[in-house]
Amino acid sequence: MSNNVKEFTSADFKAEVLESDSPVLVDFWAEWCGPCRAIAPVVAEVADDYLDKVKVGKLNVDNENQIASQFGVRSIPTLLVFKDGTVINQIVGSVPKNRITEILDSVI
């Protein structure tokens, strides 16, 4: 995993995601999820590519199921894009990198 991908928890989610000055891409995932493992390298590449533009992090739904439930995450991987504390876009499933970058480019 890239050093540029943060690990979000309930302890820091509000400060890191909801109160962030920049857009945030949150990857809702679990260790046992094959598609989550498949998209992880893509998320890491995006974190490196958008280093100074978008904050990128992962949230383990097994450890943080209340946050996942709060945002209606019912299947994983789910990528949510937050801006000014609001979900502005969502991607469900393992998708190509260009699908993620198209969405991020539209919010920065």
For the CA atoms of 6, 12, 18, 24, the dihedral, rounded to the nearest 10 degrees, stands at 0
Annotated catalytic residue within 5, 24, 26, 33 = 33
Catalytic: 36? yes
Q: Is 98 a catalytic residue?
A: no
Helix (H, G, I), strand (E, B) or coil at 70: helix
The enclosing H or E element of 5 equals strand 5-7
d(CA 36, CA 55): 19
* Catalytic residue (choose from 5, 24, 36, 61): 36
Catalytic residues: 33, 36
